[in-house]
Chain A
Amino acid sequence: MSLGLAETEDLKARNKALVEEVLKVYPDKTAKRRAKHLGVYQDGKPDCGVKSNIKSIPGVMTIRGCAYAGSKGVVWGPIKDMVHISHGPVGCGQYSWGSRRNYYVGTTGIDSFGTMQFTSDFQENDIVFGGDKKLAKLMDEVQELFPLNKGLSVQSECPIGLIGDDIEAVSKKKSKEYGGKPIVPVRCEGFRGVSQSLGHHIANDAVRDWVFDKAEGKPARFDATEYDIAILADYNIGGDAWASRILLEEMGLRVVAQWSGDGTIAELEATPRAKLNVLHCYRSMNYVARHMEEKYGVPWVEYNFFGPTKIVESLRKIAAQFDDKIKENAEKVIAKYQPLMDAVIAKYRPRLEGKKVMLYVGGLRPRHVIGAYEDLGMEVVGTGYEFAHNDDYQRTTHYIKDGTLVYDDVTAYELEKFVEAIKPDLVGSGIKEKYVFQKMGIPFRQMHSWDYSGPYHGYDGFAIFARDMDMAINSPVWNLTKAPF
């Protein structure tokens, strides 16, 4: 579907004009700042020509979240056998309670705590007098009422850092009292950084300082094998990590840990002994992957399990880190699933061929899912990230076509105007955007939560992805938008 040169130039001109157009609404100072985040990809450039990971502008309706969302909501929350305390007022824990669909196996409230909301529910007195005493008491209560927990984490909300609480001291003291149980203080106050992204980083650093460092010298729970790998940065949304793990195991590798969807503290502790870390969401866990490489010599590779093309590439890339047996097995796995993939594509591609997609997601999927759309004959014409850094935009160049519209930390206004002008056949973004575009008569899929479907990763997931995109685009409802009178 590559465009001719003239068409590409037209496209670039149109997209540049679009960017100019949306900037007109802003006061000058804001327009200058926003201009840096909106661009048109030029083939051959090392990045997408947009600035990123910069503070959002007040009042523009950014779609971004905060550091707490990155730490509790993304990285730590899914560790199922720990109790994660939303430390501060009631809201943050409430709004991030159970909504990310990080699936896990376990008895909730007994040995697993993923879909629970533990909070210190700060009152005015806690702000005035500090919350450390309350936190210490709260930890005792957790121990008593949830005796099978394997550890605690303290997820700081805004006030904690502002009132000068010492959650590290409380955590250390209590960990000692409970015989060395992991208790992890995380300084992920929402005002830190510019988006969820710093929250991921802070959460990664907390694993380094409070899990790895404390676990050194602990005996291993199992004998290592040469095929031990860990899945990093798959949050098991709708079961994604499971649909990935099954393929890695089928090719003869042994997955000793999943981070963090369906994960456990034991798996975190075991990971520095793995032979390879495979990293799905680069943005949220490259920090700890780099740390393990530097400190424990564990190499890491990025992989992409969206759609058969990328799955095949990734299986071979991972297998290349191992011996011939694994390489052969990888080919067997690829061959085994080929008929399923052929059948899925035969069924859905004719219904989706040539359809245009605009994406706006978090830190990985704006590039990672492009291959899956292309496997179905669809084309991504615009994409952007909530919280990517420049290295993400560099990686994006390997996925997008010349002339693609790129928007970083897009505002609700910009995205609406871009979609109005480009009229894609599908928009893939989040819950806050979903209903806006559906009202405009544009098919939509949530690309954070899979619109309550999933998994989308792996071969099993691609079949579901294809089914869902067809469901979105070819629903008869879109023919009803305009009244006949």
Chain B
Amino acid sequence: MVQNAENVVDHFQLFRGPEYREMFKNKRDKFENGTPEEEVNRVAEWTKTVEYQEKNFAREALTVNPAKACQPLGAVFAAVGFEGTLPFVHGSQGCVAYYRSHFSRHFKEPTSAVSSSMTEDAAVFGGLTNMVDGLANAYNMYKPKMIAVSTTCMAEVIGDDLNAFIKTSREKGSIPQDYDVTFAHTPAFVGSHITGYDNTMKGVVEYFWGGKAGLAPKLERTPNNSINFFGGFDGYTVGNLREIKRIFDLIGAEYTIIGDNSDVWDTPADGEFRMYDGGTKLEDVAKAVNAKATISMQEFSTEKTLDYIKTWGQETVALNHPLGVAGTDKFLQEVSRLTGKPIPDALKKERGRLVDAIADSHNHIHGKKFAIYGDPDLCLGLAAFLLELGAEPTTILSTNGGKTWEKKVRELLASSPFGKDCEVYAGKDLWHLRSLLFTRPVDFLIGNTYGKYLERDTGTPLIRIGFPIFDRHHLHRYPVWGYQGALNVLVWILDKVFSEMDAHSNVAGKTDISYDIIR
């Protein structure tokens, strides 16, 4: 018996005990009708070949292990960034349970959102009653300052009209006549979670600027010197948005972060549960119409939102998840240009410290080959930083990236000799990437938690940057933007590099010639 009270063992050791090993073998031999081991090995080897890769890439209908989620997830992400706002997802209720779980597993924080719980009868008759009752209940129970409505694919397939439904709910007294309910259609069968973020943000901005869906006159724009900021869908939103605010404050910029969810996903454990915390004030969303310009940190998260903002005569700047020295330089220069305020010495010093850190460590990264996958903008930011470090991005893959993205990546790669051997894959999934890691091996892989399956299968060490990260804690509390953020990313990369060095040089008398105490 492996188990004992003095030293309780759990699944990590328990099932390595001889009794369990024997039990597994017996189960397999007698009852599973399993494939013989040599055949399993043969097929496993075959999946590593170029021939398999060709078949794999010939897929047209099947998606395996995609690196993307659906629109309403992005809708919830965007919605919780507003003061006292409750996301309300119109459709089947299981979806909301999934979004809440997904975010809670990543942030290790509560995520509050409600569903209109549509069932078969709503499929037949539409979900109007669900909306009317749902808004009344959510409003009374959770006392939100605002409700942000989005849709699941069920509501989209049956064609429910949010604007009309919300109007009817007002008429029926579910919510006060002048109560703020923003809305966006977020069909899961179009785009991905970043599309949902975009649609929701556009919905919010359009609601507040464009006359609150007919409740108020359209706003007049009186341009001032402030700037608006969108972070886009971002797993590091807690650390990142705080860093951005620090940078803006150092510059002395007047600014509005639209959709600031950095507090609601980082509330204290002090005896009280805060369903709402922080977030962009609703009056500030309205005032943001007067801003001189809007900066988006992630172009592909905000395409429609920025297009809408342009129609108000605001200048828009779409960046691609700037990460590293040049990326941050460009971001700061844009902020400086737009606000007319110089970049302060404090930030110049931070830049110098980052360059110093890179100089100290670059020799451990130079020439190393990297595969990257994730959201389109994140891939662009990471690739730019790797090029800066003298690393060689070799494979870049974005399941929710498109042709425009692919062109941008190729332009970036062409700008550096370190980018010349890189392949770019838009719309491919992690099973495609598995083939690529076998046929064009790299030294390191950067991606989200699901990359650990690739790490296991291909032996490529995984550096966890992206969304979701379920199996490491608290990374989202650190920024990856700004010079400080780049330093964090540098350290995460280096930690993995050094761990790998030690892991390959730690067998006494065999490999430990290189087991150095100074690296």
Which residues in A have some Cβ–Cβ distance to B below 8 Å?
A: 25-27, 29-30, 55-69, 81, 88-92, 94-99, 103, 105-111, 115-124, 126-127, 134-135, 137-138, 141-142, 144-145, 147-148, 150, 157-159, 161-163, 190-194, 196, 221-222, 238-239, 242-243, 245-246, 249, 255-258, 262, 264-267, 270, 336, 340, 343-344, 346-347, 411-413, 416, 430-441, 453-455, 459-460, 463-464, 466-467, 481-483
Contact = CB atoms under 8 A, between A and B. Distances in A.
Given A69-B94, A238-B10, A256-B31, A94 B68 contact: yes
Contacts of A440: 271-273
A280 B52 CA distance: 42
Contacts of A65: 93-94, 97-98
A141 B141 contact: no
A382 B187 CA distance: 39
B3 interface: yes
Interface string B53-68: 0011001111111101
A448 B23 CA distance: 25
A413 B86 CA distance: 13
Nearest to B39: A148
Given A90-B192, A123-B189, A190-B154, A57 B24 contact: no
Contact of B434 (A58, A109, A255, A438): A109
B283 interface: no
B274 to A, nearest CB: 7
Interface in B9-25: 9-11, 14-15, 19-20, 23-24
Contact of B98 (A95, A123, A144): A95
Given A90-B63, A440-B271, A162 B11 contact: no
A59 B73 CA distance: 17
Interface in B51-91: 52, 55-56, 59-66, 68-73, 88, 91
A56 B137 CA distance: 12
B476 to A, nearest CB: 13
A57 B19 CA distance: 49
Nearest to A67: B94
Given A162-B154, A238-B10, A439-B268, A191 B274 contact: no
Contacts of B100: 432
Interface residues of B, number: 112
Contacts of B60: 137, 141
B104 A145 contact: no
Contact of A138 (B20, B62, B112): B62
A13 to B, nearest CB: 25
A256 B8 CA distance: 29
23 contacts: A27-B140, A60-B114, A65-B94, A66-B97, A69-B98, A81-B32, A88-B188, A90-B192, A96-B98, A105-B28, A144-B55, A145-B431, A162-B123, A190-B93, A246-B20, A343-B4, A440-B271, A440-B273, A441-B271, A453-B11, A454-B11, A463-B4, A481-B270
The 8 nearest A-B residue pairs measured at CB: A66-B94, A91-B70, A58-B134, A59-B134, A343-B5, A266-B33, A95-B98, A59-B137
A58 B130 contact: yes
B371 to A, nearest CB: 18
A242 B23 contact: yes
A348 B57 CA distance: 55
Interface of B: 1-6, 8-11, 14-15, 19-20, 23-24, 27-28, 30-35, 39-40, 43-44, 47, 52, 55-56, 59-66, 68-73, 88, 91-95, 97-102, 104-105, 108-120, 122-123, 129-131, 133-142, 152-154, 157-158, 187-190, 192, 267-274, 431, 434, 450, 453, 457, 470
Nearest to A270: B31
| From A59, A126, A138, A340, residue with most partner B Cβ within 10 Å | A59
Nearest to A441: B271
B154 A412 contact: no
Given A59-B138, A122-B153, 4 more contacts: A90-B70, A111-B35, A191-B154, A454-B10
Most buried by A among B60, B66, B72: B66
A344 B35 CA distance: 40
A464 B7 CA distance: 10
B101 A243 contact: no
Contacts of B134: 58-59
B158 A162 contact: yes
A81 B123 CA distance: 34
Nearest to A386: B97
A93 to B, nearest CB: 8
B153 A157 contact: yes
A27 B453 CA distance: 48
